[in-house]
Chain A
C-alpha cells in the first residue's frame, strides 16, 4: 500500500511556465514532508522540505504548499527552466522515525 500518493506521473511544461506536482497521504502521524529531485543517472537530492505547522515554504522558484486538513501537499516550480527537467519525489516521515515513505515520482520535462 502506497503511503504517499503522487500525481501526475509525468508532466510537460513550457519554459517560463508553472509546474505543479501533488501528493496526498493518510497517516496523520507524518510530520515531515520533503521533496527530492533526481537527475538521470544520479541519486535523489533534497530540494525543499516542510513541516505541518506552516502552510507554505518558499525557496527561490520552488514552493511547497501544505494543506493539513486535506492531507495534501504540493510542489510549485515557478518560471520553469529546461534545467529543472528531472524526476521529483515527494516523501513523508514521522517524528523521530528513521525512514521516509516516498511517492511514485513525477517526471518533469520543461521544453524551450
Chain B
C-alpha cells in the first residue's frame, strides 16, 4: 500500500522554466490537496480538489495551476517559476466523512528555483 506518491523528489529549475509536480494516491480518496512548506510558515494550502472534476484555490494560489486528472491523480503546475516558489511541496489526500478524517501526506518534492 503506497499511500500518496509524489514525483519527482527533488528538482532544480531556472527562473522562468515550467514544470509539473505529480501526485497519485491509491486509497480511493475523494479529496486531494497541494501545500507548500516554508521555514517558519508551516504548511500553506495552494489548491485543493474536493472530488474528481473540481478544484478550488487555497491560501496561496498565485503562480500555480492544478489539474485533477482522475480520482487518483492531482498535479501542480508552475508555468513560469520564480525564486519565491522555492519550497517543499506536499500533496495530501483525505476521505471526507461525517467526522473529520485525517489527511495523508506524501513525502514531498523539494524544489529549488535559481
Interface residues of A (CB under 8 A from B): 2, 6, 9, 32, 34, 41-46, 49, 89, 93, 95, 98-100, 102-105
Contacts and interface: CB of A to CB of B under 8 A. Distances in A.
B18 to A, nearest CB: 24
27 contacts: A6-B42, A9-B40, A32-B100, A34-B102, A41-B108, A43-B4, A43-B90, A43-B106, A43-B107, A43-B108, A44-B43, A44-B90, A45-B104, A46-B103, A49-B100, A49-B102, A89-B42, A95-B100, A98-B48, A98-B50, A99-B45, A102-B42, A102-B44, A104-B40, A104-B42, A105-B40, A105-B42
Among B33, B103, B105, residue most surrounded by chain A Cβ atoms (within 10 Å): B103
A100 B85 CA distance: 21
- Size class of the contact patch on chain B: 20 to 34
B96 interface: yes
Q: Chain A's interface: helix, strand, loop or mixed, by majority?
A: loop
B12 interface: no
